[in-house]
Amino acid sequence: MVGQAGAYRLVTGIWRRFMKDGRCFSTSSSHQNASSSPSANQKTPSYSYVVIGAGSAGCVLANRLTEDPQESVCLLEAGPKDKWLGSSRLSWKIHMPAALTYNLCDDKYNWYYHTLPQAHMDNRVMYWPRGRVWGGSSSLNAMVYIRGHAEDYNRWQREGAEGWDYEQCLPYFRKAQCHELGENRYRGGSGPLRVSRGKTNHPLHKAFIEAGQQAGYPFTDDMNGNQQEGVGWMDMTIYKGKRWSSASAYLRPALGRPNLKADVHCMTTKILFDGKRAVGVEYVQSGEKKRVFADKEVILSGGAVNSPQLLMLSGVGNADDLKDLGIPVIQHLPGAMDCNALHKPHGDDISAVNAMTQEKPL
């Protein structure tokens, strides 16, 4: 469980060492078809893992996978670093909590997506910000730390997602977290993700909480604890007055490792397949088309929009849609676009993604 986006896995391998098994496109070397793939003897860079997207998920993956010095990781990010003008100084527009609106109003660190008119929203065009920088959307969001309701995870289990009930997810939440109030049954105290309790003495905040209680809502002293419903003070991913993104929590501590290569301004355009086995990716950097190969896994962590779109651009998706777009079909996988219902009202069809208004290629 690594942020809002999660990651798509595109090769075989056991993943439960680092996180619970997610939805994936699994491959096998027995399905290789050399006629549709690059040569096995490439003179291009090769790593154990290629991770596409250094956002909420990608930063975690880069850190956890490179803990093993025998493994190597190439992390590709379409946007820039979260630093100031190429220096070692952190960008104040990202790391100063009060500056969060700056990045929601331009496309420097933001894909700045807009949907097609939404029929269930009076045909309005919906603004859909997505991070395009180290840390991804965790470098743009409002820094509220709040988990899904426990009953949502329990429902997943009841509907067939074995191992995803709340009691089995809770240890991973706790492992990731370092809460300033210390460890208890629901909070972690030694993880890399710094979490603080919202602090304010503003009378309007107190009045709001009192009004909620007067209206019949209970007060809860921990919205991620035993009683999630109610009004109270929220937890925040802020540490010592600065935003604590996944880049701060996971990526920066790993940047000094010799087995991690983290590149920026890399626009991934295609997943490379050997038959139906993902073996690498093609991307553009500084106007030059490049390739990088993975000995073990290609991992998509580009977010709820970019990951499924990249799958489609690479020939993985609904075969009819791919043929209409003139994309050769590698694998008929209708569910490849389903995750785009996560943030869209009423889960409108994939045309809302295919026709995203943007100036930058994916």
Model confidence over 329-339: pLDDT tens digits? 999 998 766 54
* Lowest mean per-residue pLDDT among 41-45, 88-92, 313-317: 41-45
Q: Quick one: which of 250, 248, 289, 246 has its CA closest to 266?
A: 289
The predicted pLDDT at position 44 comes to 80
Phi and psi at residue 59, in whole multiples of 5°?
A: -65, -40
What pTM was computed for the model? 0.82
Domain 145-236 in this protein, CATH class: mainly alpha
Domain map (residue ranges) of the chain? 1-136+259-362, 145-236
Do 1-136+259-362 and 145-236 show the same overall fold?
no
Among 280, 251, 342, CA closest to 57: 251
Q: CB-based burial of residue 120 (10 Å sphere; 0-12 exposed, 13-18 middle, 19+ buried)? A: exposed
pLDDT digits (tens, 9 = 90+) for 244-291: 999 999 999 999 999 999 999 999 999 999 999 999 999 999 999 999
- Alpha helices, DSSP H, located in the chain: 56-65, 92-95, 100-104, 150-158, 166-176, 203-214, 246, 252-254, 303-313, 319-324, 351-354
Q: What is the pLDDT of residues 189-247, one digit of tens each?
A: 999 999 999 888 899 999 999 999 999 999 999 999 999 999 999 999 999 999 999 99
Domain 1-136+259-362 CATH assignment equals 2.102.10.10: no
The DSSP line for 250-264 is: IIHHHTT-TTEEEE-
